[in-house]
Chain A
Amino acid sequence: MSIHKPNLVANLTRREALYGLSGGLGSLAFASMLQAEGAHSIGSHHPAKAKRCIFLMMEGGPSHIDTFDPKPALTKRHLQKFKRSGDKESAMSSGERYFVQSPFDFIKAGKCEADVSAEWHHLKNHVDDLCFYRGCQVESVNHPTACYHVNTGNRFGGDPAVGSWVTYGLGTLNDNLPGFVVLPRNSYPQGGASNWSNGYLPADHQGTPLRPEGSPILDLHAPAGVTRKDQRHNLDLLAKLNGKHFKARPDQGELDARMSSYELAYRMQMEVPGILDLKGETKKTKEAYGIGDSKTDSFGRKCLLARRLVEKGVRFVQAYAGNWDSHDYIERAHGSLIRSVDKPIAALLGDLKERGLLEDTLVVWCGEFGRTPDNGIRGGGASYGRDHNAKAMTMWFAGGGCKAGHTIGATDEIGAEAVECVHHIRDVHVTWLNLLGLDDNKLTYYHAGRHKQLSQFGGEVIRELIA
């Protein structure tokens, strides 16, 4: 009963031809509720440790220089003038520019002596589980295009997100939950919901955003005044009238599926609120995640929810934090942002580890790009902030077979550009899939006359990142 096709009812798509039409709905399940069909998957291509993924998306572009990639050389050059020129000059680089030192001290943390800004009071205790990567480069210095690139492999958006590919490849671990869940902030990122779109993949691989305010899923509940009893009666009449129509068209399986989708939707209204309910968690756990403290509550809830979701079998959870776009006042802004995610992330890593989940859960932390070692004149003075930098960023991985306790790649003396183990984001995508047992070259989908893939046209695995 897989239903996703050009506007035809009876025509079979390639996907259906491959996987067959499963009959009946089987167990009444959340995944099916969202999809009105059993989740299909390709299955993994090679054995891998990671079975699921939590993607902590630091929207806005966190500064590598002020988080995990110290640049003492900048201290010497602090507020010295600097000129960028040539072909690649943007409006951003016009006028006078100044080097800016990091306002934060750095420490060597853990057995692996990882570089960490001293602001990471909690995360510093987990660095031996992290694999820092400083070699990634992207192509775009604008937020939406860069976000699309990191999220979907395509700068223009419209293609499937990493999470969509992973659920397409691996399916869901639990039929009671959607395969790909997104925990956005109350304001959607630049570029909007296309950041978790299923693109040309079947609609059941779309990221399901659980909205932090209002109705977690749009139109989950009937408008005020419509009771559950009303709904039941309406659905009963609907089934009766639909039944007669379907009887005359028994070959059109899609009609049957659509009828079932109404029953599923009806039950979904009951099930979804329970998923979001944190009541079952102990006070200690909530405190560990920073829930209840206004500074950390928002991301703490997302991290705890992420753990609960993967524990229940969600394949891919993406949680948004931000906005890290600190063109000014980096000390204040990044300081505040680090505080808002530090404790929640540390709690998440500790919690996953304690429950034995970290081993087969890949955690990825990154933004859409890094930041520049220099800044322009703003508001009549050199501001302690940084612009966008596509040539250097830091990302880290944890769990799931990554090379924990290592820092891979390096940027130049001032953090302007990656110079060691340099890879395009497409190679990171290929590696990411590889860690999850998927081969980017095999995870393809035929669309508009072409076999398409996450990396667009192939890339290579960054072996250095794999344990």
Chain B
Amino acid sequence: MFIRSLFCVLVHITIGWVTSPAFGEVSVGEKLFALKVKPLFAQKCMACHGDEPKKIKGDLDMRTRESLLLGGETYEDEVLIPGKGEESFLYILSTRVEEGMEMPPKEADKLTEEQTWGIRDWINEGAPWPSQERVAMIQKKYAEGEQVVTSKALSDDWQKRRYETKKLWAYRPLKVEKVPEDEHPVDWFVNRKLKEAGLDPAPDSSPLELYRRMSFGLTGLPPGRLEAIKFEREFGNSHDALLAHAQELMASPHYGEHFARHWLDVARYADSAGFANDYARPNAWRYRDYVIRSFNNDKPYDRFVKEQVAGDEMDPTNSENLVATGFLRMGPWEQTGMSVFKETRQMWLDDVTDSVGQTFLAHAMQCAKCHDHKFDPVPTRDYYGMMAVFSTTQFAERKAPFLSSESKEGFDTFAQLIQSKVSSYEKQKRKLAQKINQLKKAETGNAKVGDNGLDPGDEASQSRIFKNLIRHRIELDRVEPVTHAVYTGKTVPMKNVQGRLNIPEDPWAKGYLDPDVIYDGGSVYAQGEAVRPGGLSAAESLGGMTPRPFPADKGKRRLALAEWIVNEENPLTARVMVNRIWSWHFGRGIAGNPNNFGGTGELPTHPALLDYLADWFMKNGWSVKKLNQLILSSETYRRSSRHPDSDSLEKKDPKRLLFASFIPRRLVAEEIRDAMLLASGELNFKVGGIPARPDLNPEVAFQPRQIMGGTASVYEPDPLPSQRNRRTIYAERIRGLRDPFLEAFNQPGPEASCELRQTSTVAPQALTLLNAEEVHDRTLAFAARLLKERKKEPAVIQRAFALALGRSASADELSACIERWKQATAAEKEKAPVSKTYSQKIKRTVMAEKTGEPYDFWEILPVYETYQPDLQGSEVDARTRGLAHVCLVIFNLNEFSYLD
């Protein structure tokens, strides 16, 4: 009682004190409060200490000075002791010295030293708490940082909050500097920074190194030996030769394959839907080929964007446009009999909003789904505005006649194989049905209990066969002239989606319109305020975009968004793509997070260069090929990866942000596999078409894989080597069955968008490259090829180096390899390799869901009726097998996997 009344007195006094300074005169403490402390509270504290009055943590309410003086359950009146900053726990906890009571609790949210000082100084000044109006007045007069006009925030404080100017870079209009005429723009900007840092650039790479870099960089394949030698000669005469060679590489269809690989990482391409059933997306491959085609034809990037976001709304009679919209459905998604449609529909709406945001605008939209964005000027209203663009977007496998540019190769054999699989299951199904009819007895008890006279696996097999029949029938759609696409119309609730979805005759007849609203707290069951379809309001206000209202109702909402994205006034779009392309060449972006241009992403190291390139890109018709040429023709691109003064490089640019030397990189998973196939002479260069099924680690291929209702069919590779040994981009990507070889070398999973590949070095990679059957198949074919092309030992080894490493072997290397070859040949002579055999059926043991007991079953593998293995050890002599050991060593060399 006594304490309480003391408080009352104290509160009284302090309130009196706060209001005492003469109106208009702003005290130091007031300024600290209005400019630093209050915004800090709003950003870091109020989520737990006031925003939700019913859920205040630790009983500490920070909404008013009075409540703060009362304190919370742990520190009571020691939380805020006006005049005594160092002793107030508000300050002490913010410095994180009290273990277990660090505030804010999240390490990532911790205050900077300067911020904690602001709190301390404010308390030392008596902790004044001016009124809201007065705070607004002080902020207006003195505030640093800037406010951003956005659509409208959920909270007033957020609306008024201020941003560090430098973190708003991505929303501002491009600032294009003039580059002197005789200067290469890339070098002009890069060298200026180097000069500032007092760092000399590395000299040019050797022509052969440079050409290998170009070849992998533009096509993902090692250079041809003859082309490399030609380049070396011509580049020696004049550096201008580089451009012609770059153009030649970009004219090859493999350029599109390689650049598509980059794009598909961002788009999360896969040939299956993921999750419980992991059903095939039989027509997804047409989207993959669309991307390849687009890069090969140098489709202007603005058109490329528009087609993917709104191709159907532009012109639904054009197959190209429909195929492009597959992008919108690339994420994992399924609707099973167990799912609530409203929720799965919302999962997709969230997914597409986020993925469009990340891909084209470098904004992870999901961060604004439940609350206004914590760091960036993206209010929740913008999130739902962009989501509303997709309210009328619906799924369909639409009719889309094949274009002459699409490959229809292998349709028949594929369909036949699947048919035989289907027939084998149907036969088993009939047999099982007979058995069940004969043996099944009525169950005892008042409910079905399973004592029905059947074996533990009978009913499980029934359901497994039923499910796999559905799965394979879906696969048959792969060769049909339909495409994985969308249309605009009302939402029609779906139950169990397993197969083709058709477009209704009148898309506006049945179903309902998804509400265009904010879902409070991100819950689809909590409809809040209405929103209009729209883009990012900060990009409009800071970027100075002319407002263009989006249509609602039955209008073409996606087309409006697409046009908004590619509008040349949009400050984000060109910057985002230019930054991606830069990162594909240099291994890091000018801005370090290609999917995140917000305040928490890394700031651009060369903002002027980024802006210059973005502007140049648009002025040059959004041409990716032209941009590649501009980048490749720079000194910066040509630089050696080995800096002559590594000490000074380490000192002045430890993070390698200044591009003083080229950053070496390991090949990505796909490049490693493709390079082996190319060296061995097995690579099938065909472009496009239905997914290939390469050989997979057999233990993984045959391992039972659970799906809803049973076990998925075994992975069966294509029967012919030429079908299997295609470029990796054509390998079927099954979400629930990753290729362990590719996974080992950091191929990202197709669940989330990958902004840039990661590289790790772990021992399982060594195991894979040393031991995997697929690698041994390559080495044997490589050895056989070498012996076919060259006779004498030194010539054979020289040829191996030329094909695999693009250079000749030194005398030392030559003798070491020949010595090993001889030794291995001697050892191989003692061996009698046996041919691998392939069974046309396999016995598998799994657990039956209904009975909880294990059971066996036989699965028929029709592909092994016609399967032709790659070259086998038993087919060649000991000398070839001996050479294969040397080839294995070559494929395992650092030099093979690393680009200078």
Contacts and interface: CB of A to CB of B under 8 A. Distances in A.
5 contacts: A8-B665, A142-B338, A229-B827, A385-B448, A444-B108
B767 A387 contact: no
Given A36-B761, A334-B852, 5 more contacts: A142-B708, A191-B736, A242-B893, A332-B850, A450-B367
A245 interface: yes
B733 to A, nearest CB: 13
Contacts of A458: 105-106
Interface stretch (B158-166, B221-229, B236-244, B744-752): B744-752
Contacts of B106: 441-442, 444, 451, 453, 458
A204 B758 CA distance: 13
Contacts of B770: 219, 222, 231, 234, 262, 265
Interface in A400-458: 439, 441-442, 444, 448-451, 453, 458
Q: Taking each of B107, B740, B776, which has the highest tally of chain A beta carbons within 10 Å of its own beta carbon?
A: B107
A: contact size bracket: 35 or more
Interface of A: 3-12, 32-37, 46, 60, 78-79, 87-92, 94, 98, 100, 103, 141-145, 156-158, 185-194, 197, 202-204, 211, 214-215, 217-227, 229-231, 233-234, 237-238, 240-242, 244-246, 248-249, 251-252, 254-255, 257-259, 261-262, 264-265, 268-269, 322-329, 331-337, 340, 378-379, 381-385, 387-388, 439, 441-442, 444, 448-451, 453, 458
A329 B853 contact: no
Contacts of A157: 332, 749, 751
Contact of B771 (A10, A89, A222, A451): A222
B276 interface: yes
A245 B448 contact: no
A225 B872 CA distance: 12
A264 B852 contact: no
B885 A230 contact: yes
B545 interface: no
Contacts of A35: 762-763
B771 A223 contact: yes
B704 A388 contact: no
Interface in B540-596: 587-588, 593, 595-596
A448 B449 contact: no
Count chain A CB atoms within 10 A of each CB in B757, B852, B898 and give the residue with the most. Answer: B852
Contact of A449 (B336, B595, B772): B595
A249 to B, nearest CB: 6
A239 to B, nearest CB: 10
B703 A233 contact: no
Contacts of A335: 852
B804 to A, nearest CB: 11
B749 A158 contact: yes
Nearest to A333: B852
Contacts of A340: 852
Interface string B100-137: 10000111100000000000000000000000000000
Given A79-B447, A142-B275, A144-B275, A5 B758 contact: yes
A383 B889 CA distance: 61
Contacts of A217: 764, 767
B144 interface: no
A9 B446 CA distance: 68
B768 interface: yes
Q: DSSP majority for the A interface?
A: loop
A215 B767 CA distance: 12
B108 A451 contact: yes
B43 to A, nearest CB: 15
Nearest to A5: B759
A439 B812 CA distance: 56
Given A158-B752, A197-B749, A246 B703 contact: no
Nearest to A458: B106
Contacts of B894: 242, 245-246, 255, 258-259
A272 to B, nearest CB: 10
Nearest to B900: A249
Given A217-B767, A458-B105, A6 B850 contact: no
Contacts of B834: 224
Nearest to B350: A156
B449 to A, nearest CB: 5
Interface centre among A237, A325, A387, A442 (most CB of B within 10 A): A237
B706 A328 contact: no
Given A190-B707, A265-B763, A337-B852, A46 B99 contact: yes
A302 B655 CA distance: 45
Nearest to A46: B100
A99 to B, nearest CB: 10
A7 B656 contact: no
B755 to A, nearest CB: 6
B364 interface: yes
B642 A234 contact: no
A297 B564 CA distance: 62
Nearest to B657: A11
Nearest to A35: B762
Interface stretch (B509-517, B672-680, B813-821): B813-821
B449 A262 contact: no
A434 to B, nearest CB: 11
B892 A238 contact: yes
Contacts of A230: 824, 827, 885
B766 A262 contact: yes
A328 B851 CA distance: 8
B5 interface: no
Given A190-B736, A448-B364, A92 B448 contact: no
B172 interface: no
B763 A261 contact: yes
Interface in B739-798: 740, 743, 746, 749, 751-752, 755-768, 770-773, 776
Interface stretch (B529-537, B597-605, B619-627): B597-605
Given A231-B770, A333-B850, A91 B338 contact: yes
A92 B338 contact: yes
A384 B448 contact: yes
